[in-house]
C-alpha cells in the first residue's frame, strides 16, 4: 500500500491506498477495461456507516452497484436493501435478502414491473412497496395488493453534486408534501401503511447539509401530524464521498447527529438509504493507454475505457481521480479520452506521471454508478468486473463480447 496524506483515515480510501502491484496483476490476468470491487472495503464502509447511525435501519440503495457479490456482502452485514425496480428486487432476493429487508421504490413503475413487484411481495412476505403517486396506489389496488405500503413524499428541498441528481424538489419524485397526510390516511383503509419516505438527492457534501436537515425536519413534522402509527420514517440517502484528493470525507457522526436533531421525537424507526457511500471507494476502473498524442494545446491520452464504461464524467462533468500505475516519473498535463465517437467521451484534464502507450491507469471511486451505468453505445461490449476480498479475486461479471451486443438483434426481412 502506498502512503498518502490521510491514508490512516478510515473514512476514506484514496486511489493511492490501493496496492499498485495487485491492480497491475489483476489487469494482466483479466484484461482492461476492468472494474475492481473490494468487498472488504464495502464491509468496512457499511460497519462505519451503521455505527454512526446506531438506532437507524440502513437500506443499501442497490442502484449504486447491484453485483451479487456486493449484495451478498451487505446482506451478511444485516443491511436491508432499497430497490429501484423489480429487477433490482429480484437481484436482492437472489442474493439472500428476506422479504422484510427488501423495499421496492420504483418511480412511475411500468406495468410489468409493478406486476412482478406484487408477485415478489407475495412470494417474499414482509417486502414493502413504496409509491410516489396516487395513481400507483390505485394500480396496486387493481392488482389486488393490500400489503405493506410506504409513501414517497416530495419534500420540496433537493441536494446533491449536480442538478441532474437533485430529486428532492423535482416534481417527478413523490407526492407533494401537502397532499401526503390525506393520501396516507385514505391508503390506510386498504393497505398496511408502514412508512413515509423522501430523498433529497445524491452526492451531498458537508457544505450542502442544510437541505438534508430541512428534509429530515419536514419528515419528522409529517410523521408527528399523522393519526396512523408508522413503523419507519425513511429520509433517503445521498451521503457524498470525496472524489478529489483534496476533498475531505463527510463527518458521519455530525451528519447523524444533525439528522436525529432535525427529525425530533418520533415514534418510528429512522431509515437511511446510502448507496454511493458504501461502494464508491470500494471500486476502481483500470484502463490502458493506447494512444499518446501531442497537440499544441495539451497531450491527449487515448484509453480503452470511455463514457460507455464510466458515464459519470460525460453525464455530470463528474471528476474521478486518475493515477498512472506504470510510472513514477514527473507528471504532465493531459486530457484523457475514450474510444467513443462523442466529444463528451472524456475523463477530463488530469496530471499524469509521464504517460506512455500501454501504461495502466487507475480511475478512482468507480464502485458507485460505474458498471451500473455502462452501455453498449458504438457497439462496445461492457467491461468485466472482478471482486477481491483479502487475497482472493473472482470474476463477478464476465467481459461482454460482440455476440452479447448483437444478442437481441432480429433479422427484418422486408423487401
Ligand X SMILES: N[C@@H](CCCC[NH3+])C(=O)O
Among the listed residues 3, 341, 407, 412, the single catalytic one is: 341
Q: Which does 304 bind (CB under 5 to 8 A by kind): ligand PLP, ligand X, none?
A: none
Residue 60 labeled ligand binder: no
Q: Please tell me the distance from the alpha carbon of residue 221 to that of residue 73, in angstroms, as a whole number.
A: 35
8 Å CB contact between 293 and 299: yes
8 Å CB contact between 2 and 17: yes
Smallest distance, ligand X to C-beta of residue 365, A: 10
Output the nine-digit C-alpha cell for 298: 495539451
CA distances to 4, 118, 314 from 67, in Å: 29, 23, 23
Q: Which does 312 bind (CB under 5 to 8 A by kind): ligand PLP, ligand X, none?
A: ligand X
Smallest distance, ligand X to C-beta of residue 159, A: 12
The smaller minimum CB distance to ligand PLP, of residues 73 and 202, is found at 202
- Which stretch in 257-265, 273-281, 313-321, 384-392 sits in contact with ligand PLP by CB under 6 A? 273-281
Q: Which does 195 bind (CB under 5 to 8 A by kind): ligand X, ligand PLP, none?
A: none
Taking CB under 6 A as the criterion, which residues in 151-170 touch ligand PLP? Answer: 167
Q: Mask of contacts with ligand X, 65-104, x by CB under 6 A?
A: ----------------------------------------
Q: Which does 236 bind (CB under 5 to 8 A by kind): ligand X, ligand PLP, none?
A: ligand PLP
Q: How many CA atoms lie within 13 A of 130 on its CB side?
A: 28
Q: Which does 243 bind (CB under 5 to 8 A by kind): ligand X, ligand PLP, none?
A: none
8 Å CB contact between 221 and 183: no
Q: Which residues of 161-192 are buried (b: 16+ CB within 10 A; e: fewer)?
A: beeebbbbbeeebbbebeebbebbeebeeebe
Q: Name the closest residue to ligand PLP (Cβ).
A: 275
Q: Is 97 in the site for ligand PLP (CB under 6 A)?
A: no
Smallest distance, ligand X to C-beta of residue 58, A: 17
8 Å CB contact between 268 and 195: yes
Smallest distance, ligand X to C-beta of residue 166, A: 9
CB atoms within 10 A of CB 412: 5
Q: Is 350 in the site for ligand PLP (CB under 6 A)?
A: no
Element (H, E) at 59: strand 57-61
Taking CB under 6 A as the criterion, which residues in 46-85 touch ligand PLP? Answer: 61, 64, 82
Q: Please tell me the distance from the alpha carbon of residue 8 to that of residue 193, in angstroms, as a whole number.
A: 45
Taking CB under 6 A as the criterion, which residues in 216-255 touch ligand PLP? Answer: 236-239
- Which stretch in 39-47, 132-140, 195-203, 397-405 sits in contact with ligand PLP by CB under 6 A? 195-203
Rounded to 10 degrees, what is the CA torsion of 101, 107, 113, 115? 80
Q: Residue 83 catalytic?
A: no
Q: How, if at all, do strands 346-353 and 331-337 pair?
A: antiparallel
Taking CB under 6 A as the criterion, which residues in 144-173 touch ligand X? Answer: 165, 167
Q: At 388, phi and psi to the nearest 5?
A: -125, 150
List the alpha helices (DSSP H) in 31-174: 39-52, 68-76, 86-94, 111-123, 134-142
Q: How many CA atoms lie within 13 A of 346 on its CB side?
A: 12
SS3 67: coil
Smallest distance, ligand X to C-beta of residue 237, A: 8
Q: Is 382 in the site for ligand X (CB under 6 A)?
A: no
Q: Read out DSSP for 194-224? A: EEEE----S-B-GGGHHHHHHHHHHHHHHHH
Q: Is 309 in the site for ligand X (CB under 6 A)?
A: no
Q: Which does 324 bind (CB under 5 to 8 A by kind): ligand PLP, ligand X, none?
A: none
Provide the binding-site residues for ligand PLP, judged by CB under 6 A.
61, 64, 82, 105, 167, 199, 202-203, 236-239, 273-277
Give the residue ranges of the annotated binding site for substrate.
276, 312, 316, 342, 369
Give the annotated binding-site residues for pyridoxal 5'-phosphate: 238, 273-276, 369
Interface positions with ligand X (CB under 6 A): 63, 165, 167, 202-203, 312, 316, 369
Catalytic residues: 341
Amino acid at each position: 500500500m502506498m502512503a498518502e496524506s490521510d491514508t490512516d483515515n478510515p473514512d476514506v480510501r484514496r486511489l493511492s491506498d490501493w496496492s499498485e502491484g495487485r491492480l497491475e496483476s489483476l489487469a494482466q490476468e483479466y484484461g482492461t477495461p476492468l472494474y475492481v470491487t473490494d468487498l472488504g472495503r464495502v464491509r468496512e464502509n457499511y460497519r462505519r456507516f451503521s455505527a454512526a447511525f446506531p438506532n437507524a435501519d440502513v437500506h443499501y440503495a442497490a442502484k449504486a452497484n447491484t453485483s451479487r457479490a456486493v449484495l451478498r456482502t451487505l446482506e451478511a452485514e444485516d443491511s436491508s436493501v432499497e430497490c429501484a425496480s423489480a429487477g433490482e428486487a429480484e437481484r436482492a432476493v437472489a442474493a439472500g435478502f428476506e422479504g422484510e429487508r427488501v423495499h421496492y421504490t420504483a418511480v412511475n413503475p411500468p406495468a410489468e414491473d409493478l406486476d412482478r413487484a406484487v408477485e415478489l411481495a407475495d412470494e417474499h412476505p414482509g417486502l414493502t412497496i413504496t409509491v410516489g403517486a396516487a395513481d400507483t396506489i390505485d394500480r396496486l389496488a387493481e392488482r389486488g395488493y393490500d400489503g405493506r405500503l410506504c409513501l414517497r413524499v416530495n419534500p420540496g428541498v433537493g441536494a446533491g453534486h449536480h442538478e441532474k441528481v437533485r430529486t428532492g424538489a423535482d416534481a417527478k419524485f413523490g407526492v407533494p408534501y401537502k397532499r401526503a397526510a390525506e393520501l396516507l390516511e385514505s391508503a390506510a383503509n386498504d393497505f398496511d401503511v408502514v412508512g413515509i419516505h423522501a430523498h433529497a438527492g445524491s452526492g451531498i457534501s458537508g457544505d450542502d447539509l442544510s437541505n438534508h436537515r430541512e428534509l429530515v425536519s419536514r419528515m419528522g413534522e409529517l410523521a408527528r401530524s399523522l393519526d396512523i402509527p408508522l413503523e419507519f420514517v425513511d429520509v433517503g440517502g445521498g451521503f457524498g464521498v470525496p472524489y478529489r484528493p483534496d476533498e475531505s470525507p463527510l463527518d458521519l457522526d455530525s451528519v447523524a447527529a444533525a439528522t436525529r436533531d432535525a427529525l425530533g421525537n418520533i415514534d418510528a424507526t429512522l431509515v437511511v438509504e446510502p448507496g454511493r457511500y458504501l461502494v464508491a471507494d470500494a471500486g476502481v476502473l483500470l484502463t490502458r493507454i493506447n494512444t499518446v498524442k501531442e497537440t499544441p494545446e495539451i497531450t491527449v491520452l487515448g484509453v480503452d475505457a470511455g463514457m460507455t464504461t464510466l458515464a459519470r464524467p460525460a453525464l455530470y462533468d463528474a471528476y474521478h481521480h486518475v493515477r498512472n500505475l506504470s510510472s513514477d516519473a514527473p507528471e504532465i498535463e493531459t486530457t484523457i479520452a475514450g474510444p467513443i465517437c462523442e466529444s463528451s467521451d472524456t475523463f477530463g484534464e488530469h496530471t499524469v506521471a509521464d504517460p506512455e502507450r500501454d501504461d495502466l491507469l487507475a480511475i478512482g471511486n468507480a464502485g458507485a454508478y460505474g458498471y451500473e451505468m455502462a452501455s453498449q453505445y458504438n457497439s462496445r461490449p461492457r467491461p468485466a468486473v472482478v471482486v477481491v476480498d483479502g487475497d482472493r479475486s473472482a470474476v463477478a461479471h464476465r467481459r461482454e463480447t460482440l455476440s452479447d451486443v448483437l444478442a437481441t438483434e432480429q433479422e427484418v426481412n422486408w423487401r
